[in-house]
């Protein structure tokens, strides 16, 4: 099994290219099920999760071709569609549930296994089910599968307000409503950039949608969607992660393609901690202002607040900050599983329910640690860059789900990091 070996070293310097967003691409790919014409995605990230979604779409009858070393995905769904999303594929990844809305919209019926993914909380499907039921879908859970049928064979427009601004449920509702009969309005919709990116793609395919990026999205159903070519938006979580590298190690790094509006709340916390972030046409340039990082308090929130997917990485930074920081996790339970591993490296962290108190120490020390989920894995790498000696991070298959060529990107700015077989 692969592990990552990190040796603590000095300041970093150079450029890091930021990939297309994993969460956006995994949402855009199922949109091919909505049309019998080709959908091409450019700036696609090269990740294991993308391969999993490719396998799922292929099992449903779509053709997916990877071009230009995986950066372009050419998709087509002109053949007969299989409405059954099997457990053996769906269990590997939470985003697999995003085929449910498109299948219902295109075929009027679907059978989709309950999904899997990282062990960071329950992430229930009831919000998705309620949203699709509002469009006229009858959905039953039988033996681990959601059996869904549109009443009368076709979804119908409706007004629906979600009890929580779920990103996935927003995406499922919007995709399903594009082919529904009549007008649909989703209230308390999620506002994430990945949703804005999805709407831009659907609009390029002929969908009539307004309000993306706000709490109310209106969709006027159309009879069919056509093909399109669409660039995947920059990955704001990868962006934030690599912005932390010079914050932790010192030096100056430019994250190519980065935009401030993708990480505004995160950048505000970095500024409060003593980290400079500037934007120009090339991207975001990050450097430590002077001396030791200052402690800051962090509360995760839905967009545009501080992202839960950057909480673990931010904790790694705050482990060596001057003072005491409190991190509050409000999105997912079980998302402090990286804390015990950071403690193995000499961090002083106390976890009580949804709060983690981090008392900054002068220096972390290298150790053998274990990744518990996708974001935890990269937080341990960041901690290793700031630690004395060597750190070995095991179970890095989590890492490959969400970060493109991470060793290459870190090494490119002077980090001592390599993948090893153990």
Distant-in-sequence, close-in-space partners of 345: CB < 8 Å, separation ≥ 6: 319, 364, 365, 366, 367, 369, 380, 383, 384, 387, 391
Is 50 assigned a ligand-binding role in the annotation?
A: no
**Which residue out of 77, 118, 201, 255 is catalytically annotated?**
118
Give catalytic status of residue 255 as yes or no: no
Is 51 assigned a ligand-binding role in the annotation?
A: no
Rounded CA-CA distance 203/199 in Å is 6
Cα–chain center distance at 420 = 26
Is 331 assigned a ligand-binding role in the annotation?
A: yes
Radius of gyration of the chain (CA): 22
Residues 100, 139 contacting (CB under 8 angstroms): no
SS3 content of the chain, % helix, strand, coil (to 5): 35, 30, 35
Quick count: other Cβ atoms within 10 Å of Cβ 227? 17
Distant-in-sequence, close-in-space partners of 19: CB < 8 Å, separation ≥ 6: 43, 45, 46, 234, 235, 238, 404
Is 309 assigned a ligand-binding role in the annotation?
A: yes
CB-side neighbour CA atoms (13 Å) of 153: 0
Rounded CA-CA distance 15/283 in Å is 10
Is 22 assigned a ligand-binding role in the annotation?
A: yes
Q: What is the largest CA-CA distance in the chain?
A: 66
Long-range contacts at 274-282 (CB < 8 A, ≥ 24 apart):
275/247, 277/243, 282/15, 282/254, 282/256
Known binding residues for phosphoenolpyruvate are 22-23
Known binding residues are 22-23, 94, 309, 331
Known binding residues for UDP-N-acetyl-alpha-D-glucosamine are 94, 309, 331
Q: Active-site positions? A: 118
């Amino acid at each position: 099994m692969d592990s990552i070996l990190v040796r603590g070293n000095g300041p970093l310097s150079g450029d890091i290219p930021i990939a297309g967003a994993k969460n956006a691409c995994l949402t855009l790919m199922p949109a091919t099920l909505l049309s019998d014409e080709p959908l091409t995605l450019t700036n696609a990230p090269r990740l294991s999760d993308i391969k999993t979604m490719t396998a799922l779409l292929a099992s449903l009858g779509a053709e997916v071709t990877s071009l230009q070393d995986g950066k372009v995905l050419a998709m087509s769904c002109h053949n007969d569609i299989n409405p059954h999303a099997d457990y053996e594929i769906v269990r590997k990844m939470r985003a697999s549930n995003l085929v449910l809305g498109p299948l219902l919209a295109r075929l009027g019926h679907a059978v989709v296994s309950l999904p899997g993914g990282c062990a960071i909380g329950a992430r229930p499907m009831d919000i998705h089910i309620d949203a699709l039921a509002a469009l006229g879908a009858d959905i039953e859970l039988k033996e681990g599968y959601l059996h869904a049928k549109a009443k009368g064979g076709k979804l119908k427009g409706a007004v629906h307000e979600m009890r929580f601004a779920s990103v996935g449920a927003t995406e499922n509702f919007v995709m399903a409503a594009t082919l529904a009969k009549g007008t649909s309005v989703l209230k308390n919709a999620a506002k994430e950039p990945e949703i804005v990116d999805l709407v831009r793609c659907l609009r390029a395919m002929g969908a009539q949608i307004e309000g993306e990026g706000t709490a109310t999205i209106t969709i006027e159903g159309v009879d069919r969607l056509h093909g399109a070519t669409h660039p995947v938006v920059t990955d704001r979580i990868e962006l934030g992660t690599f912005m932390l590298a010079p914050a932790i190690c010192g030096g100056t790094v430019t994250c190519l393609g980065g935009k401030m509006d993708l990480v505004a709340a995160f950048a505000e916390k970095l500024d409060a901690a003593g980290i400079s972030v500037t934007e120009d046409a090339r991207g975001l340039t990050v450097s430590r202002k002077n001396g030791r990082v200052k402690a800051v308090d962090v509360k995760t929130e839905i967009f545009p607040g501080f992202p839960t997917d950057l909480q673990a990485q931010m904790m790694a930074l705050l482990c060596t900050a001057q003072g005491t920081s409190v991190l509050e996790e409000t999105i997912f339970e079980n998302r402090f599983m990286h804390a015990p591993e950071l403690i193995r490296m000499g961090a002083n962290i106390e976890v009580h329910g949804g709060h983690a108190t981090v008392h900054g120490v002068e220096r972390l020390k290298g150790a053998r640690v274990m990744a518990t989920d996708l974001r935890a894995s990269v937080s341990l790498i960041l901690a290793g860059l700031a630690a004395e000696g060597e750190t070995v991070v095991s179970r890095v298959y989590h890492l490959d789900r969400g970060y493109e060529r991470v060793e290459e990107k870190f090494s490119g700015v002077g980090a001592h990091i390599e993948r090893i077989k153990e």
